[in-house]
Amino acid sequence: MAVLEVKNLTHTYSGNTPFINDAVSRVSFSAEKGEIIGIIGHTGSGKSTLVQHLNGLLKPTEGEIFVDGANIWDNPKEIRKIRSKVGLVFQYPEYQLFEETVYADIAFGPKNMGLEGDELKKRVLETCELIGVKGEYLEKSPFDLSGGEKRRVAIAGVMAMRPEVIVFDEPTAGLDPGGRENVMKIIHDYRAATGATVIIISHSMEDMALLADRLLVMNKGRLEMFDTTENVFKNGGRLREIGLNVPIVTQVFYELKKSGVPVPDDVFTVSRAVEALKAIKAGEKYA
Amino acid sequence: MLKDITFGQYYDSRSLLHRTDPRLKIFLLILLIVFIFIANNAFSLGFGTLSVISVMLVSKIPFKLYLKNMKAILPVLIFTGVINLFYGSGEELLSIWRLSITTGGVYRAVFMAVRITLLIFLSSALTYTTTPNDLTDAIESLLSPLKFIGLKSAVHTLAMMMTIALRFIPTLIEEAEKIMNAQKARGADLENGRLTERVKALIPILIPLLVSSVRRAYELAEAMECRCYNGGEGRTRMKQMRMAAGDYGVLAAALIICGGITALNILL
């Protein structure tokens, strides 16, 4: 059974603008346990609006969201319980840090869920282990950390709630390559450790190719494609039409193929590219 | 949500008053308020009331908006009205314990209430027809004589501070909304609980907001320095304020109102 199911979700921002525009229009999809879904789309395509519905921060104008088979708006008073089931890490989450110590900040979420005493401590320490924050850091002020470290602590703050579904809105924005890799590794490790479903919004097609099992493509508030990462990236032409692209390595292979080199057209990651090139080289040797 | 709170009440209805020089508008506001308080009999105050109503009509601002501003001031209005009832001499109408309401008191109370109402309507006419930026520019310009008494940089600094404060209100509201959502996503409960719990629930919002405001202030200061900002000296404006033909018309109309009030004061 799908952990998360979105049916016909429509959201209209009620503003005093003369343009009545659906930020999200009739989007349906479902996520299975343990899979990683990437959401891509140009700026303003409704990605952020879409994910804010998943934990009940926004109420859909139309449509339903089911978590573990239950409609999350069946009981509006219990909506806070949904937020520990579906964790949401916002863009630039480091701006939400507020406690005196890293430990206390990571403990904020689980405490809100009602965890106390040893259980709370165990939960926080486990999470720190997962994200590689070492002992002495726990007593530091989060405001003394570097940008990348702050980001990791903020992500840990949501992971500490052990959500079954964890959603990231551009988790690597504004980080250096080392920091990006680190955040991607944390996300990967969290899923490996907990079996959670992961949903990531990103503008990096390379990151998506590495991590995502399936890709959800948004265009002007509508669902453009929802398919395996491979099938989506095979549609490079359509992606470019809506302001997106395929990973750079795929673009390189596309050009190679055009100039007559017999390469496969399903190369989306660097490691896959290396394999493909090795195979060609080996083939030439015996030709 | 939070974004719907309007600060600065500019309402774009493109009237004559919108085009009037903001410096003149501030000056005339003060002048007319003084004359409304000078009006000392029913006829002159009545004339003042009619004049204010015509100003409101000229502004093309819906009357509803003027009333909205009255709502906030209503307690003050009632308070001054009631206090004034007990002052004044004349025939006694009603006496409660050692307090007595007299005709003179009623007269004073009504006068005071009308004056305060007119004052609010007039200042609303100013804020509805002038953008906050125009207002600060005008204040800077009107305060500029202060530079002759050694407060040269203070005038410009003050105006710049006001402009920046106004500019950042929507930005900070947006920021506050983002932080609130982020903390809600971490299970923070902002809606329920006893008063003490609710106050405590504000800490996770206020601290990040404070931190980011300080950060923004530093960034803004740096950006301003990068563009060689060094205070008001030698700085020119993109929008020059100049009195135009229409402005003299507005000035003349205001002077006629003042003259009318004075005449009615003396004659009746």
Residue with tokens 């940008």: A147
Region(s) of chain A under CATH 3.40.50.300: 4-234
DSSP A89-149: E-SSGGGG--SSSHHHHHHHHHHHTT--HHHHHHHHHHHHHHHT--GGGGGS-GGGS-HHH
B165 touches chain A (CB under 8 A): no
Determine the longest span between alpha carbons in chain A, in angstroms.
70
pLDDT tens-digit readout, B17-32:
888 999 999 999 999 9
DSSP character at residue A213:
S
A90/B207 CB distance under 8 A: no
Helix (H, G, I), strand (E, B) or coil at A59: coil
Cross-chain residue pair B187–A113, CB shorter than 8 Å: yes
Among the listed residues A204, A182, A186, A202, the one whose alpha carbon sits nearest the alpha carbon of residue A194: A186
Long-range contacts of A177-180 (CB under 8 A, 24+ apart): A178/A148, A179/A147, A179/A148, A179/A151, A180/A204, A180/A207
- Calculate how close chain B gets to A84, using CA atoms only, in Å: 7
Query: Residue A159: what pLDDT?
Result: 95
Contact A65, A24 (CB under 8 A): no
Predicted local confidence at residue B194, as pLDDT: 82
Give the pLDDT of residue A101: 93
Degrees (nearest 5) of the Cα angle B183, B185, B191?
A: 65
Q: Do A90 and B203 touch (CB under 8 A)?
A: no
- Dihedral sign from CA coordinates of B12, B13, B14, B16: negative
- pLDDT the model gives residue A48: 92
Spacing of C-alpha B239 from chain mean position: 23
Of B185, B203, B207, the CB nearest to A83: B185
Report pLDDT for B51: 94
ipTM value, please give it: 0.88
Question: What mean pLDDT do residues B169-196 have?
Answer: 88
pLDDT value of position A103: 93
DSSP state of B91: S
pLDDT value at residue B107: 86
Q: Write down the pLDDT at residue A286.
A: 59
Cα nearest neighbour of A108 on chain B: B186
| Strand positions, DSSP E, chain A | 4-12, 22-31, 36-41, 62-67, 70-71, 86-89, 165-169, 197-201, 214-219, 222-228
Q: Which pLDDT score, from 0 to 100, does residue A15 have? A: 54
pLDDT tens for each residue of B133-157: 888 888 888 888 887 887 777 888 8
**Tens of pLDDT, residue by residue, chain A (287 residues):** 789 999 999 998 865 555 556 789 899 999 999 999 999 999 889 999 999 999 999 999 999 999 999 999 998 888 888 998 999 999 999 999 999 999 999 999 999 999 999 999 999 999 998 888 877 888 999 999 988 899 999 999 999 999 999 999 999 998 999 999 999 999 999 999 999 999 999 999 999 998 999 999 999 999 999 999 999 999 888 999 999 999 999 999 999 989 988 888 888 999 999 999 998 888 776 55
- B190 at interface of A, judged by CB pairs closer than 8 A: no
Interface probe, candidates A79, A82, A112, A162, chain B, greatest B C-beta count within 10 A:
A112
Contact B189 A97 (CB under 8 A): no
Residue type present at position A265:
D
Beta bridge partners of A88: A167
Total residue length of chain B: 268
Question: Which homologous superfamily does the CATH classification assign to the domain defined by A4-234?
Answer: P-loop containing nucleotide triphosphate hydrolases (3.40.50.300)
Q: Residue A138 corresponds to which amino acid?
A: L
pLDDT in the model for residue B155: 82
Segment B161-187 shows an average pLDDT of 89
B185, B203, B208 ranked by CB distance to A95: nearest: B208
Cβ atoms A95, B180 nearer than 8 A = no
User: How large is the average pLDDT for residues B235-260?
Assistant: 87
Residue B210's closest chain A neighbor by CA?
A98
Find chain B residues with C-beta within 8 A of A161's C-beta.
186-187
Mean pLDDT of B221-228: 92
- Tell me, yes or no, if A276 comes closer than 8 A to chain B by beta carbon: no
Mean pLDDT of chain B: 86
Placement of tokens 């700085």 in the chain: B235
Is residue A44 within 8 A of residue B148, CB to CB? The reply is no
- Residue-wise pLDDT for B54-92, tens only, equals 999 998 888 888 888 888 888 989 998 888 888 777 777
Q: Which chain A residue has its CA at the smallest distance from B213's CA?
A: A95
Q: Does B191 touch chain A (CB under 8 A)?
A: no
Residue A19: the pLDDT is: 53
Q: Hey, are the CB atoms on B204 and A108 less than 8 Å from each other?
A: yes
Residue B252 has pLDDT above 80, yes or no: yes
Which three-class secondary structure state does DSSP give residue B226? helix
CA distance B43 to A198: 76
Is it the case that residue B4 has pLDDT exceeding 50? no
pLDDT recorded at residue B65: 84
This prediction's pTM: 0.76
- Taking the Cβ of residue B84 and every Cβ of chain A, the question of whether any pair is shorter than 8 Å is answered with no
Q: State how far residue B175 is from chain A, nearest Cα, in angstroms.
A: 10
Say which of B179, B187, B211 has its CB closest to residue A84: B187
Which of A82, A96, A155 to mutate against chain B (most B CBs within 10 Å)? A96
DSSP state letter for A267:
-
Smallest CA–CA separation between A226 and chain B, in Å? 26
Quick one: pLDDT at residue A285? 63
pLDDT band per the 50, 70, 90 thresholds, residue B11:
confident
Stretch among A282-286, B5-9, B10-14, B36-40 having the lowest mean pLDDT: B5-9
